[in-house]
Amino acid sequence: EKRIVPYDIIGEETLNKLVDAFYYRVARHPDLIPIFPEDLSEVARKQKQFLTQFLGGPTLYSNEHGHPMMRARHLPHEITPKRAKAWLSCMSAAMDEVKLEGPIREQFFSRLVLTAQHMVNTPDTTK
């Protein structure tokens, strides 16, 4: 029995389009602008590598950067629940744009919800 590899279903081309559509939105989201660099090309390149292996494809991210340790890598940035919500809304809109639909999208997105929640390291404030 061969396991289903989401990366094989989604494919490199759609994944790359997804990441580009995602960072286009991140760059324009008022809650996210303050913590991201102006030039998003390097983080987009790393995200393509990361999501490739997250979806069961080749381990591009680890080959170049070592163990993902995503929570640790996000600690220098203030990730609030509000920002996690903003991140996920950009991703959902990007999935709409590239027409990623059906169970493959639902499964992928659910895993991203869990990962995003895990990245939260700062409470929302009322100030």
b/e per residue 40-74 (b: at least 16 CB within 10 A)? beeebebbbbbbbbbbebeebbeeeeeeeeeeeeb
**Which CB, 46 or 105, lies closer to ligand HEM?**
46
| Binding positions for ligand HEM, rule: CB under 6 A | 35-37, 43, 46-47, 50, 54, 65, 70, 73-74, 77, 79, 83-84, 87, 112, 115-116, 119
| Shortest Å, Cβ 81 to ligand HEM | 9
Nearer to ligand HEM by Cβ, of 2 and 82: the residue is 82
Total residue length of the chain: 127
Residues 87, 32 contacting (CB under 8 angstroms) = yes
Q: Which is nearer to ligand HEM, 47 or 98 (CB)?
A: 47
